[in-house]
Structure 1
């Protein structure tokens, strides 16, 4: 039967369009292309001769002058069809262990053949066989391994042509080449195109690192690490590397290269700096023009040296301009502040020319000249605040002597003053000098009068004078006046003595008497024109008389009596205070406590603070997270790759604490400041939480080059993967316990006015004790003060399968939308990590939800648990339970295990999603292995074969005991197989009860 009768125009049109589509493929290395061959393919058909029942037939067709070939088979009226079509030997690339097979084909509708097609099928099978050499025309079916059953999405009817495209993956290839084979079991099929290819990450240059073309890894390898090399004239501190994904995409680059000194980056290459430009260090910066007062060299300059007479300070960057020496300060002035202490104030104006520098300082040098002999002032002269390193344009000078000439020199300095050589005629001076003559006209003054010694009838005094006499030939005479201290000045005797030394011993004084003393230079030393009081200094000193023995006894007795009275007063005050305070303490201790109010006081009132509201995100990190020194962290091995860098397993050993295992998220080198802030924002969020079901933040590393986030290590990883690896191993009671932990963590977040937005089993981590903890706060945001407040996103991806319909439609998130997501997580837990909504597209999921479709109960799901799921998926968000209600309900279920024994209704046709095609015996599958593969139980294929269960008729006759006897022991696997058989019986209208 000719498959293409009546369809040729449509076929030609499709081939032309599809030829354009093929040219758009990228990152693929083609091993076989049926269309591109353009000649006889030489594929092998088996059986070689079938008499009147032809198998696969090759048909040559011409389009626009080019020939192409198709293979078709259409023996729908014959029984027991087993037709094989094998490709030529396909050479495998040495590193390509995973290839893709893209098929374009047409399948005729069995109903279009009328009643003569009772044995018609609408599927065919794809097989593969590995070999180290081409076996020619030798063909053995037993050497081929089944890859997949190929079923069309669209079936061709009588008057239209519907072309299907399917892609299947062939894994774990290890030999030099392989064959593909197509098995027809009674369908009407036309194979239009077969294309075999593997994916590669193309050779590329990123951040000046050249990465070679790399074959994408297989499913088991996941990410393939590839080392790169710097382009010419570029260097790197560490070996750059990148990861090649299974889809042929480069991801998570670690390390980067930078152009050497004298080179800059231009279109992923390093080129020499142009003449007049330079670059001093290896970096990602561009070459800069030579700064002012520097020489412009040829291309590739590392630095631009200063021109003659200009310099750079040691602290100046090589990119800075060169500068000259500052000129001298101006307008130096000396002002007398206090002649009595020989104190002056020097002030000046800044230099007229600072040579463009802002680090100008000043130093002051002093010389004293006496009898035409000049010398440095020495340490006797004091400068305030200092004599060097002055930034202000004034200085105070003290301890100067009278009748001397002083020369002060003020010099300007800058960072380049160290390069100053001998003065040149063209260079302006950098200092200014001023000579000051200290010629005092004021008479000497008494500055200090002190009592040296006293007895009952004598007194010794000494004093200081300023200015001091320059020589012994000019002594100063002093006038001492003293008298008894008496209010009756008329009857008081005043005694005056003239002295030539600044010391006196007065005798013959009256015991127990106070005296008033005054010392001043004699009138002969005072200048008559001096202002009154300016040259005189009066000191009045009371002189008590000596104490007698009787007076001493009286005073001693009075002192003892006063001390005793003071002690009595203090004791009385202390006793009174205790008598007043004791009843108060007693009444406080016996006061009854209101238990409810006490509980409310203990209840934390902490509210989540959005770190994005901080003007400086670094402040938020330091506020909510603990800084860890990198020396306390030990990395062990890479366990994953995140958005910002690699994730390590390691250890944390803090001083005074036990060493603990941790997960370490790193920030890849070459990050921008925004990437660093986004990376650390998750730590600012996590650091605010403290709950046993929320992932714990140990701390961050922010003050060093490589930023890190350190969290507790969860040994069993993500919940969805863990459940898949332990499918059927946990009873419902334990699964509900996991849900309780997740709900408790979400209640804590909700109580803090916080919404997660990305709650899914993949974001729940599990430790060795099977405790579940909420993690991954990348999509999280804070709620408003209003409990019903929302956060409106400005775009971005939304996890459709886990997100509430109102959040999808309006991008508004609340705790109620988190409750919807929690219902999906419950379904994932009970289904042991199965993908929600299976292989439905996101568009199909949204459409189904809006049409009131909800996920069916997983196998063996307690009815009470499934009813809680349905409550979480109510369309009206105000009617959904709150997390507090969910925690209480799950707690009641765990306290009453019998409540979990009632199982929700289960429909295997919906949950397992069996194919809709039907064989001649009414069974949806041609073989037992095909059936087991569809329900993800292919690991038991050998068990069924050894037990003699080799046809679907045998499967339909099996009981629960038969399944156990062939070696299926895990409860979850036992129930999956049993429910599938129940679904098969229901499809074949066999009214039998299958007890589980």
Structure 2
């Protein structure tokens, strides 16, 4: 912003109405001191203007001065700007008599505390600048120049300006003097007054204190700085709207009806959550509506919940009814009341006639009779011939409020009940089996059962038979369900022995507690058989349920010959391997777009491949940096010779190479989400275990393919796994890869080279021997990286500390929220004896089973926060391992929340130890992974004794 310092211009000569501070003056009132300068009339654009001019170019030693009147310094302006408009004539337009002609003049200034009138001494003035024109006036064309200079470090009450001419032909048209201010403003909800620019002598900034706008507060006084150019910079101490108010433009406006805000912040007011009352404006929270509640641990800013409705579809499934066992299962309530903390309790009652009583300890319910999360429970120790009634109740965090009021009639009660009656009877026992009749191709059998108490349902039987001497790879069983205790089997082979097993079934379809097996043989052609006594006419209804086949260990796929990897280094001319395994691409078909990374040999670009016969698509382009040697070029292209031999959906695909031109390139498919470790770090805690296990399954499938080709990777790590848009994981980076020998236990031995210690098996570190089993070890580390969302294995331990820990049989602990089954697989991959580690086909099979049964991922491995978070070896004065909250947050990689803790007033570790989950949420930690990391760290600090952990704790196997 510009402010006028004083009227110092010849207002009779110039149009300066916009800058006059005290009004215009008349020509006769302008009392500038003039030495040789003449006041003249000048015609400019049809207007007559008065100017100060001088043109003594033919005289030697010119020293002409023009001084302004006294200019008062206002508002402590220490820096003013002087804008000059003037005309300077071209010295070449004069004849030879103008040898002393100049084309410049000088600007001077002098400070004073009072007006000295007409007193003038040159020694009082100091030079500000030499003024030179940009354009010179000729005989025929008038050119006006405008120049601005700065007079700085002013400190007295006023000052004079003076102009010195030393031989120019010039005319001074106008002088404008002004200073700059930072305008009054509101920034970050703090109001700041208009301020003169600059901070005084030799100070570029002026600090200005502000005041929070109405309904806003700040922990520290808001401040801002005014620059010498009249601009506001570096605001400090942000003001925030009070609870019940939100920032709207530069004000704090109260929350509108139906909205609320509970904390001091600049966030917008939130819409009242579901099932709450809509209060008037300025609400701090929204109370629950009638018949809706918040649990004691629910935040006051969250929604309110209703009571759950009844569980649905209660079913009793008999498993081993003869042993008194069954399983109850049900579906969740149709209406959970808006809550996820649904649990169940099961009540058992046994009834004889009309009298019923609790089952008590006579009947076992597993895993428990209350606090159940899963919608099933196993029941055992049932007695025969009794009716059992099971009642399942649904509960939630607000069920405790059910007794405090009567629920609305259109809502179900919070404690809901479904009842089913079960009459359990034990099936009869088969005691003997006999052959009634036989022929070349059929056998007629019957069997007897032990007497039992009568039951209303008829008994059914399960008959299973097969050939006795079936030595083929595939053994076929035939299963029949029969309504009577006899059967005729047809379509059998002559002269063949068969094994038969029969077992009685309960009315519910479960098998009895015992069965009997016997052997019978069909007639041989040409031999007569003495027929047994004719049995009574029996009929049966047979239902073939299944034909079960048991296969030998070797599947047809395993019997097929596998393609074997060929090491490109075995070629006498490495270029031949490239020609054989990689397609050549013309460089004109490849377009680089932007750098996405850097490899060992050069930069990696994202680009477009548009080749004839191919669909245009995005690719990754690895380049070879200039100045390479021939060996570096061969090592660079050898990776393409390796990749070109692979074809699997979980192995990075080679598109081709550029080798016949100066700049060699390797072109591969483009993976949009980049390296797996970085992808996971960016999504810490946001992905469920099922999705993470799916990623592991893809990596394992790719490694199985490589191991089937007798190939070892040597550098399997999350950083070398790439992820595409479909979250498919693909193995990449074959720079350290080598082929296995023909021997299945073959190794690759090297006398040197880099080894990634944190991912490498102990035998590979100690003896430089690599096998597919060492890749399995590395895969276990990759699994740990995945479940830990890209955390660095062994944290900040040195390589020596890692090797020492491994050799002492310690292993990485389970990451937070890691399924127990997944962690057990990790430990199997890290067995010291490599022969006992699982192979990649086994790993793929196990991960596939886990994905087919998501419930198997619900059991979580034990987690000790003191293990996953490495504590420092020194402690603070309070006996805790951290001297400050910021130091603690930095140690668990959560330093981005330091300001949140400070704003919430949590500034000591003692205050941290008092925090609960709801407190952590309330200070602004929203991501589930971050919330868990901070909560578990606090739990670990609470459990920690005065003895500090000097190094990480691992699992000892």
TM-score by length of 1: 0.41
Larger CA Rg, structure 1 vs 2: 1
Higher helix share: 1
